[in-house]
Structure 1
Amino acid sequence: MKIANALLPLSMLLLSGCVVGPNYQVPPPLVPAKFSKSETPAGNVTLNPWWQAFRDKRLDSLVAQGMNQNLDVLQSLERINEARANVVIAGAGGLPQVNASADGNVQGSDGSYLRRQSGVSHTETKSLSAGGDASWLIDLFGQYRRARESANASLDAAYNDINVARLAYLSDLVTSYIDARYNQEALALAKLSLSSRRETLKLTNDIRTAGAASSLDVVQAEGLVNSTLAELPAYETGFRQAANHIATLLGLPANSVTAELTRGTAQPWPRYDTKIGIPADLVRNRPDIRAAERRLAAATAQIGVAEARLYPSLSLSGSINASRTFGDTATGNLTSWGFGPTLDIPIFNGGERRAQVAANRSAAQQQYLTWKQTVLDAIEDVENALIALRKNYETVAALRRLVTSYEQALGLARESYRGGATSLLDVLDAERTLSQSRIQLAAAIRSLAANYVALNVAIGGGSSVEVASK
């Protein structure tokens, strides 16, 4: 009766399902109502294949190929397998543990002493035994439930980490493709300038032959040709380095896609705008924010795991063993068993368990600050990309007009030079400014495309898209 009275409170506690530690709640995001460019909610942008706005089939093919081969994405997939296994490990401690064992043994002896004593010279004994034991740690204060809660939250974070890796891959691959096409365009423009300057050099030589130009004019024209030749290697190097990096992102050896990319095309240019939505959309769409929130949930559950270790633990255990012996003189069976509860009460541990609770609380607070910083960084990313993209469009429009003006100026300068109305210096200046303005336009288009990528990545666009290799 006394034992029943002692176990009754523990039984009631077990039935009540007591779980210590704070119950996790998703923190409210502290975000502004809108971005600097007012927008309505954009909904789920994670399924938006924004790179298709460039209308570049080669780029689409690279994205599809790399999404299935990129090593960072594959590593994230393996981390999901690890997190799934950790969920099983976390819950296993709260389940009954059953083990079984068996063994056999043969013993014998030989010698003249046995013959003198018993008339036999050999004795042999055989024994067989088998047994089993079971134990169950009763999760009185929710230690294993909190551990499972933490492991499941970590699994959720691992799923989001895949999308973080996808966004990083998309940003790196598409930006590298933009760089490759820029260097191809700049190389083509430099060769166009080289052709124009060689034409000017030929014109200068013809005029000098006619006695209307000096050797200084010829030397200056030759110098401009040579300066253009010096620009070509940098663009060729830039293209090959970008192509090599694309190959690495595809999980291929460097230089394996260079030949295919050498067949150049126009610089990527987005054909439609991006709906950025409102800051609250970021919390739903950015995988790094979701992953940070899930890690906060995992760290919060670990507080409960540590607090549960401050309280007593109850375990039930039992065992049964059976053996049979076969011998020359006797044969017999023996069975033994035992069952009972064990109560473990922590009394003194040097403050280690309470220190662990404090450490876990600090870890959870750190994860909260990380989540908050991730949200703020995401808003800054969108605002920066938004203003940069808006100004890029203005810059490209102005440079297009500038290139048109300088093309006209070069034609007029050449006509005047042929007629002797201007000097060669005017022609060379016109060629130089036209060449520079063309390169500036190509660079501005590259910046516009790169900021378009940055804006879509900043809002979490395309992070959940599943693409198939073509």
Structure 2
Amino acid sequence: MALTACSTAGPDYRPPEHDVATAPAAQGSFQSAQGTVFSNADLPDHWWRLYNDPQLDGLVEQALIANADLRRAEANVNAAHAVLREAEAGRSVSTALSGGATLARPSGTAESLPGVVGYDLGLSASYPLDLNGRIRRAIEASTADLEAMVAARDYLRVSVAAATARAYAQVCAANYSLAVNRQVVGLQRQTLDATGRLFRGGRGTAFDVSRAQAAVEASAANLPAFEAQRQVGLYLLAALLGRPPADYPREVEGCAVLPVLGGALPVGDGAGLIRRRPDIRQAERTIAGDTARLGVAMADLYPQVRIGGSVGLSGPLETLGSGTALGISLGPILSWSFPNRPVVRARIAQADARVQGSIASFDAVVLEALRQAETAMETYRRDTQRAAALERARASAAVSAGQAGKLFRFGRGDFLSLLDAQRSLASAEAAAAAARVQLVQDQVAVFLALGGGWR
């Protein structure tokens, strides 16, 4: 007991000091969160509700229940619970029941069988004193592993929520882009019809008609791509909801309105990001688990002491029930790997190296999370500016196309100028629509980088 009960083996866990997560630059405001498109408000747990879209809310809630990857993650959490219970059981009394019978006949004698029938019945029990804290450290390690597994599940929930929102936005964006491009095709068909009437009236040429027809066909060729994007999004939604592709959500198929935020995008600050992101929590819990396992390895330097006792009956069968067959023992049970101390020291060095590696991994995870957040916000901010510029270009192209149409109808403009103006309008319409679609995807990327979706 003197050798064993000096103290609990290994260091007590404390969060890493002087790490990236505690640096003022990491905990302050984001560099890219500039302009009116962002706010310093904390990100809500269920960020998808900011779109005020009941259909999106329902899809995300279904995915968080039925997603196959999430079910697997939940099973991993349950397995970690079982490992923790196994570690906690190391503190309880362990028992063993044994029994056997023998038939012995002395060799070299002429005695006939059956010889001597013997028996051996026993019940033993022992209780670990855990004087050096080996079991305590094992429980700490299993607890940290469980919490890390819960964090991994939560991070998967964040990813599933973001993937569901993206797939939903893809379906709505495809229908929206399809509608915009159909309007362009419709406008070009009107020009084609007008050109045909002018040709039949002797005011145009067959060349003008063929060029107008080519413009219609070129714009119409873009439509199947948007239909394919819509179907791909529907199939992705089906997979996220735990369904086969043929069972995609039919109620989403006709969505043609892009999800729109009700206000500025709330991003909070770096400190909130570090607290919120589950992968950072998982990395921190990994350090705690590895620190506890270092204590388990160091406990092997000391003896392991258990209080044990046993009661048994043994001897020839004819002595069963007599006092001479009863045996009782009670006392400490000591085990010590003292001759193998170099092996134990090597295991301690391995465990300590794993702790140092986990600390480095924690810093790497924090840095990557901050980088992802800054990158996503910078991309969103610049794409917002780009979308505004493309919207102005679209408005100008629409004015130019209208003016070119009037000049052509009144004989004051040539047909080539009209086609060029309509081609510019079609390009501007498509670019502005694609920019609006990209903004929704950028918003989801920001939410994902901020770790929103689960407390």
Please report the TM-score for the alignment, with normalisation by the length of structure 1.
0.85
Aligned to 1:34: 29
Residues 440 and 313 of structure 1, relative CA distance in 2, 3 Å threshold:
same
Equivalent residue for 2:141, pick from 137, 150, 157? 150
Amino acid of the structure 2 residue aligned with 1:20: A
- Residues 217-366 of structure 1 aligned to structure 2 (within 5 Å): 217-257=208-248, 259-322=250-313, 333=322, 334-349=325-340, 351-366=342-357
Q: Deviations over 1:232-285 (max 9, x none)?
A: 111111110111001100001113225322222311121122332221112211
Task: For residue 138 of structure 1, report the CA deviation from its aligned partner.
Answer: 3.3
**2:135 paired with 1:131:** no
Aligned to 1:3: none
| 8 Å Cα contact 2:171/2:253 also seen in 1 | no
Q: Secondary structure at the match of 1:263?
A: coil
Task: For residue 172 of structure 1, report the CA deviation from its aligned partner.
Answer: 0.8
Counterpart CA distance in 1 for 2:266 and 2:226 is: 34
Counterpart CA distance in 2 for 1:165 and 1:428 is: 51
| 8 Å Cα contact 1:31/1:280 also seen in 2 | no
| 8 Å Cα contact 1:197/1:431 also seen in 2 | yes
Structure 1 residue runs of 5 or longer lacking an equivalent are: 1-6, 108-112, 465-470
Q: Deviations over 1:306-325 (max 9, x none)?
A: 11112222233332112597
Residues 179 and 31 of structure 1, relative CA distance in 2, 3 Å threshold:
farther
Aligned to 1:24: 13
Task: For residue 89 of structure 1, report the CA deviation from its aligned partner.
Answer: 1.9
| 8 Å Cα contact 1:269/1:445 also seen in 2 | no
Aligned length: 439
Counterpart CA distance in 2 for 1:177 and 1:254 is: 15
Instruction: Point out the more displaced range, 142-151 or 92-101.
Output: 92-101
Amino acid of the structure 2 residue aligned with 1:34: S
Amino acid of the structure 2 residue aligned with 1:268: P
Residues 391 and 409 of structure 1, relative CA distance in 2, 3 Å threshold:
same
Residues 211 and 41 of structure 1, relative CA distance in 2, 3 Å threshold:
closer
Residues 294 and 206 of structure 1, relative CA distance in 2, 3 Å threshold:
same
Task: For residue 149 of structure 1, report the CA deviation from its aligned partner.
Answer: 0.6
| 8 Å Cα contact 1:318/1:337 also seen in 2 | yes
| 8 Å Cα contact 2:301/2:341 also seen in 1 | no
| 8 Å Cα contact 1:184/1:264 also seen in 2 | yes
Which runs of 4 or more aligned residues in structure 1 lie more than 4 Å from their structure 2 counterparts after TM superposition? Answer: 38-43, 102-107, 122-129, 323-327
| 8 Å Cα contact 1:53/1:271 also seen in 2 | yes
| 8 Å Cα contact 2:401/2:422 also seen in 1 | yes
Residues 409 and 52 of structure 1, relative CA distance in 2, 3 Å threshold:
same
Counterpart CA distance in 1 for 2:378 and 2:321 is: 91
| 8 Å Cα contact 1:189/1:439 also seen in 2 | yes
Aligned to 1:88: 85
| 8 Å Cα contact 2:307/2:333 also seen in 1 | yes
Q: Secondary structure at the match of 2:306?
A: strand
**2:207 paired with 1:216:** yes
Task: For residue 436 of structure 1, report the CA deviation from its aligned partner.
Answer: 1.6
Counterpart CA distance in 1 for 2:379 and 2:320 is: 93
Overall identity of the aligned pairs, in %: 29
Aligned to 1:49: 46
Aligned to 2:183: 192
Please report the TM-score for the alignment, with normalisation by the length of structure 2.
0.88
| 8 Å Cα contact 2:145/2:285 also seen in 1 | yes
Q: Secondary structure at the match of 1:349?
A: helix
| 8 Å Cα contact 2:300/2:336 also seen in 1 | no
Q: Secondary structure at the match of 2:265?
A: coil
| 8 Å Cα contact 1:240/1:255 also seen in 2 | no
Residues 387 and 57 of structure 1, relative CA distance in 2, 3 Å threshold:
same
Structure 2 residue runs of 5 or longer lacking an equivalent are: 105-109
Counterpart CA distance in 1 for 2:50 and 2:40 is: 21
Counterpart CA distance in 1 for 2:168 and 2:417 is: 38
RMSD value over aligned CA atoms?
A: 2.8
Aligned to 1:4: none
Q: Secondary structure at the match of 1:255?
A: helix
Aligned to 2:393: 402
Q: Secondary structure at the match of 2:123?
A: strand
Amino acid of the structure 2 residue aligned with 1:26: P
Aligned to 1:60: 57
Task: For residue 400 of structure 1, report the CA deviation from its aligned partner.
Answer: 2.4
| 8 Å Cα contact 2:301/2:338 also seen in 1 | no
Q: Secondary structure at the match of 2:222?
A: helix
Counterpart CA distance in 2 for 1:326 and 1:132 is: 18
| 8 Å Cα contact 2:300/2:344 also seen in 1 | yes
| 8 Å Cα contact 2:237/2:249 also seen in 1 | no
Residues 258 and 69 of structure 1, relative CA distance in 2, 3 Å threshold:
closer
